[in-house]
Amino acid sequence: MAETKQLSDEDQVKDIIARANRIPVWSLPTAFLAIIGIGYFFTFYDISDIGLAMPAIAKQFDIGTSLSLFIALSVGLIGYGIGSYIIGSLADIYGRYRSMILTMGLTALGSFGDAISVNVPELTIFRFITGLGLGADLNLVSSYVSEFAPPSIRGKITVYTFLIGILGQAITPFVGLSLVPVYYNGWRYLFGIGAVIAFIALILRFELPESPRWLAAKAHNLEKARKVLEMMEATAVKKIGKLPDPKPEEVVLEEPKFPTLYLFRRPYSTRLGLLVVMWFFWYIGNYAFLGDSAAILASAGFSISSSILYLAVGAIGYPVGAAIMVVSADRFERKYVIFADTVVWFIGLMLFSAKISAFIFAGSFLASMALGMYLQVAYTYTAENYPTRARSSGFALTDGIGHVGGAFGALLLPVLVASYSFAFGFRFIAITGLIAGILAMLGPKTSNRTLEAISA
């Protein structure tokens, strides 16, 4: 009887996966992409706001450069790594939906606490809480969207949500420019706006369904998986009419175990190692550029307003890069696109390193554009490389450990600039970004393939 029941469950899972993979269009309400995107908007808003706020915070709290950097970057990244793995593991065990509610609740709480902090210990605690939510949310959104999106347009759909989110990174410098240098409590207003955005995103997320792939992976949730799938099929039929016939998928139900344990066998162990190193090198430059550039420009003789203006104008590149990926993410093999993105990054930072106003503007734009091009495509690529039972855990480990590179880069760049030169520091992070692209070329092909085929 037990064997018959197991075979029956396996056949049901195969049917659910085959029905999901035959849907060629985004099969949730279009508004759901906006709901997911608003959460992303806050994520990138917060990534940018701390670097803009720290000069004013350091002055008001009378703290030195080293402690300022630690609070601004390291504490948040520590929380990021811990939250990403713990909540990512919970998402593989208890579901994507519940975990996405938890992450946005934490980020709303953390950002509100940032705004009302009156001393360094309070700010440190709330930056940690914000980091817990942010790290896990980036992980979960990529996994969640990938599990709903059709293979042929998975890259495009994930970039759509990212395009809404990256506007947060483009708009934040302008918001910071209008608040931080103008008002004594401008940095508090900057965090307060983020808290409001996060709270709105939290309320809206209650409308989202659970991933049918995750439900199917848990055999006792097969009926719930079918109900979500029926809703998806009904939405798709309204858009395109009759759906193609489902093609059977090779799906094997394995003995349930803690999600991380799936990752320490081939091919996932090899992918985990490669992707961790790729993200480590990418985040070195990513966080150094986002967190340190304004302060380094100010130290190099530019005013705070001018320093923020260079980055604000350059930030127009974020949505431009994401828009380019809307038409490129599925047209070409994903890992080649990632490499091309890092070439743009390299050129941008080499221009920025010249420390000439026109080149700083151009370099800031290209570096920002490269970030807008790279991030969601690389997030999608990372999520695709792991099985459903450990997708969030795999992404979390990859991204969480990779963020050690972010903490390292953010602390290292000012040292390199001070010890050698402005040009040396920014050329260094230009090279580390390019290395990430070279490493991506060593990974498997994923474009236009089902998640089950990639993870086989």
CATH number of 18-237+259-454: 1.20.1250.20
Separate counts of helices (H) and strands (E) for the chain? 18, 0
Instruction: Count the neighbouring beta carbons within 10 Å of the beta carbon of residue 329.
Output: 26
144: Cα separation from own chain's centroid: 12
352/430 Cα distance (integer angstroms):
10
Would you give the DSSP letter of residue 63? -
Pick from 209, 224, 155, 225: nearest CA to 14: 225
87/118 Cα distance (integer angstroms):
29
Contacts 24+ apart (CB under 8 A), 118-124: 119/61, 120/61, 120/63, 120/67, 120/71, 123/57, 123/61, 123/71, 124/71, 124/75
Q: Is the pTM of this model over 0.85?
A: no
Q: List pLDDT tens digits, range 349-371.
A: 999 888 887 888 888 899 989 98
Structure tokens belonging to residue 269:
């162990």
User: In one letter, which amino acid is 219?
Assistant: A
**What's the length of the chain?**
456
How high is the pLDDT of residue 267? 86
> What share of the chain has pLDDT > 90, as a percent?
24
Structure tokens belonging to residue 255:
């003995």
Residues of the chain with pLDDT under 70: 1-9, 64-73, 219-220, 249-256, 304, 456
How high is the pLDDT of residue 1? 37
Three-state DSSP state, 352: helix
How high is the pLDDT of residue 208? 92
Would you give the DSSP letter of residue 64? -
Three-state DSSP state, 211: coil
Q: List pLDDT tens digits, range 221-264.
A: 788 888 999 999 998 899 888 888 777 766 555 666 787 888 88
